[in-house]
Amino acid sequence: MNTSHLKGRRALVTGSLQGIGLAIAESLAAEGASVILHGLATPEQIDVARKRVLAAGASDVEVFTHNLRDEKQVEQLMADVLDHGALDILVNNAGIQKTAPIAEVDATLWNDIIAINLSAAFHTMRAALPGMMARGFGRVVNIASVHGLVASANKAPYVSAKFGLVGLSRVAALEAANAGSRDTGGVTVNCICPGWTETSLIEPQILARAAAQGGDRDAGVRDLLREKQPSQRMSRPEEIGALVAWLCHPVAHNITGAAIPIDGGWTSQ
């Protein structure tokens, strides 16, 4: 396969200044794309992320810091992105999570998780898809979760958002399915549904398990994985990045509406 199949393409990855999002940005950069980073971070963190993506091979790197809790800022993000040129690839990766029983989830927490994990993706897709469909090429990859396919206790807002993201992606995939052609690459919309992945997002859950294991973090990780993920192995962010880059390849023109688990067998149980 051509290892620069995204040369000349422009990609936006939300929530890409660290973790999975940054790994995705690096994977797209390695295939020749110009990359638009996004997230809330310090100037130092932004500088580090930008240098990493340039080092990975990006032809250009832009950075935006709009707050996705606010739909007006999401709309402004997309206006700013599109003012700089056409958008070929959209990766909705930004997300937050907090675990609590339903009775302890207040309206602010619910609204924040739904806004960032689901509504923001709707608004970015609403802005990006018309141009993709008109040009006959586009890739939308939404980073959902294994919790977009199965539920877990104490995660009502997160599970609701991720199930919604999978459904939203399938609707968009149907609406864009006949745009373009095999030659142009078509327009596809897919979800990736990671299980346990080595990121800061799950660190509180690891530490909680470690505390129950006498403070042993490795024992906490094993305990966490044993409950759900049969492979007993966490995924690395760069593995998710590699799948995103592959879904953006022209050969993936007929893979659309999929929700692809990277979960070590979790959803096979």
Encoded amino acid at 26, one letter: E
Do 201 and 19 contact (CB within 8 A), yes or no? yes
CB 109 within 8 A of CB 155: no
Has 189 been annotated as catalytic?
no
Using CA atoms, how far residue 55 sits from 36, 42, 60, 86, 236, in Å, is 14, 20, 11, 23, 20
Catalytic residue among 10, 13, 93, 158: 158
**198 with 235: CB under 8 angstroms?**
yes
Q: Percent helix, strand and coil across the chain, each rounded to 5?
A: 50, 15, 35
Residue 11 φ then ψ, to 5°: -125, 135
Q: Are 50 and 62 in contact (CB under 8 A)?
A: no
Give the CA distances from residue 119 to residues 90, 205, 255, in Å, rounded to whole numbers and listed in that order.
Answer: 15, 25, 24
Burial label, 4 (beta-carbon count in 10 A; 0-12, 13-18, 19+): exposed
Residues involved in catalysis:
158
